Every structure is written in structure tokens, then in C-alpha cells.
Amino acid sequence: MEFDLTDELIKQITFAMENQKEHFLLDSCEKVLIKKTDIAQRLAAEENGEDISFSETQNQNRFYTLPEWNSILGFKMMEKFVSVLKNPLARSDLKQVLSLGKGVFRNFKNKLSEYPEVEKLWLNFKDAEMKKMVLDWYNRHRASWGLDLLPIEFNETDALILEDFLFRFSSLAEEPELFERYQGLFFDELCERAEEEDDEEVLAFLWKEYHFLQEEREDLQLCIVETIEEDFAGIAAFFQLAGKRKKRFLIPFLYVEKNFRGLGLGNELLQRIRNYATEQGVRQLVVHNSFVPDVLVSVLLKNGFQKTKGIYFANVAD
């Protein structure tokens, strides 16, 4: 019997799938889930003449088995999540949990609690994967009924996560200590790309000159991101370069706390600066190639930056 798959019914089905103690079936007539044991009891009552309403609406396709779900599929889902997780610290810890075996589900949950934002990513990921399983299951039935398949669309996880953060603009003059602290952390990470000690010494010299240049900029601005609890999460600095042909913003550094990486914060910091640049009539964003740690390269490329002659640049749309 055909039935409509509502959001409420999806919630009921996913909840029942995870209940490993009871076996449920979907009653397509009443649009509810019924325990398999209850169905047997009602059929027995019908045979004894105690419940005639149940058999009156009986038909061959009234009850549907729910999508398959078990501990093996649950483990594979956790592996899939870890494989796409971009936060290096959480990914490493969760990989270790998955390799231990015994108590893996409990330990996975406990480890996630140490990374609240990653835990939210997991819950969104799991919810989307479970819904996809239900929709795939429903589409198989729709195909058997001769109906068109439903599209599988979900909200972007990054957008949901960003709702838990606050972005604001500030300046070097207003928050010099914040600037100094995270510029230093950015440089420490930058040194990790130096292959030899001599390379690090040269890099340190160049950065010292670059740092002095920034300190002298009264117009140096900051884009800062914090959690709703006001915990610092990331920062990007930028200032306008003097130029005859076009206005440019130079971004000397961008840094996201390691616990908050992989949540799209670096992308959003760049997007906020890009939007501000558009408002100010700035035509191009520039990042010096000598001061781009490996972890930042993918963020720049994802945001449309191109590499040429020692710089990364991105044109700003009119």
C-alpha cells in the first residue's frame, strides 16, 4: 500500500532503526510504527474475535520492514565521518578510538564530548546519513509503485555549524595583545614548513621585517570569530595596499584554533573580508606566498585564490 513519507515519519523510522531491542514495522494504513510482537498479538486477538478493526483494513502490502540498521553499519558510519573530518586533532583521536575495538561506540561518544563543535558536526552528519538511508528505502518502494523518485537534499552542515559562532571586525589599535598572540602562533605554524634550520632562520628574518611592517600600520584591521560563549576561535588581519591601478587588501595572516579547524571558519573569515572589500571598492585580495602555511593553502584555493609570482591573489567581484 502506498504511503507518504513525512518529516515526522522519518524521525520515527530513524529512531526505531537505532532501537536494537525491539523490531518495528511500518503500518502504512495508520502511518505509524508498530512493534512486531504487537502485530502478532493483534492478529491472535482478531482470530479470537476480540479485535475486528485490525483485519478489516488488512491487505497484502500493509506492513513494511524498516531499512536495515545494525552495529556494523553504525561502525562504518563512524569510519566514514572520521575519513572526511578536517579537524586534525579530533580526527587523530577518533581514529585511535576506532582502532581499539572494545567499547568503541561508548568511547567514540566520550571522545566527541571533548570536541563540542566536532560533536555537532557528527550529529548533523549522522542525521543526514540516516535520513538518506530512509529516503533510499522509500524511493525503492516508490519505484515499485511506478512513481517518480524523490530528490535527496539536505542543509549544508557548514551553515548549521556557523550559527554557533559570532564574527566581528576590530583593529590592531583596539586589540594589540590579541594580534600579537595569534600572529605568533601563526608564525610557529609557518616554521613547520621549513625543511632545514637555515630555511627557518631566513623565514624568521623575513617575518620580523613583515611583522614590523604590520605593527606600523595604523589601518591594520582584524576579522575575529568567537563562539557564542565568547571563546576565541580564529582571526584574520588585513590592510589596504597603496596602488595606482587598483585598490588591494593584503592579508598578512589568518589563524584558526586547532580545536575549531575543519568547521569552515577559515573560509568564512575570508568571505567576510571579501564582502567588506566589495563595500570599500577594493578589487583584489593578496596573500604573500612566503607566509602561507600548508594548512592554509587549501583554504585559499577553495576561496578562488590563484598563485602567481610569489603571491596568492583573488579578484573581488564588483
Please name every residue paired with 226 in a beta bridge, in sequence order, or none if there are none.
Answer: 166, 232
Torsion of CA 211, 284, 265, 291, to 10 degrees: -30
The per-residue b/e assignment along 28-66, b for 16 or more CB within 10 angstroms, e otherwise, is: beeeebeeeeebeebeeebeeeeeeebeeeeeeebbbeb
Cα of 244 vs its chain's centroid, Å = 41
Per-10-residue mean pLDDT of the chain, 318 residues long, equals 88 91 88 83 64 51 89 94 88 93 91 91 92 93 89 63 86 89 81 58 59 64 91 92 78 89 90 92 86 82 88 83
Residues of the chain with CATH 3.40.630.30: 162-315
Half-sphere exposure of 30 (CA within 13 A, CB side): 14
Residue 56's pLDDT is 43
Residue 243's pLDDT is 67
Residue 81's pLDDT is 93
Predicted TM-score (pTM) of the model is 0.67
Residue 77's pLDDT is 95
Q: How many other C-beta atoms are found inside a 10 Å radius of the C-beta of residue 9?
A: 17
Question: What does the DSSP 8-state code read for residue 147?
Answer: P
Question: Is domain 162-315 given the CATH code 3.40.630.30 in the classification?
Answer: yes
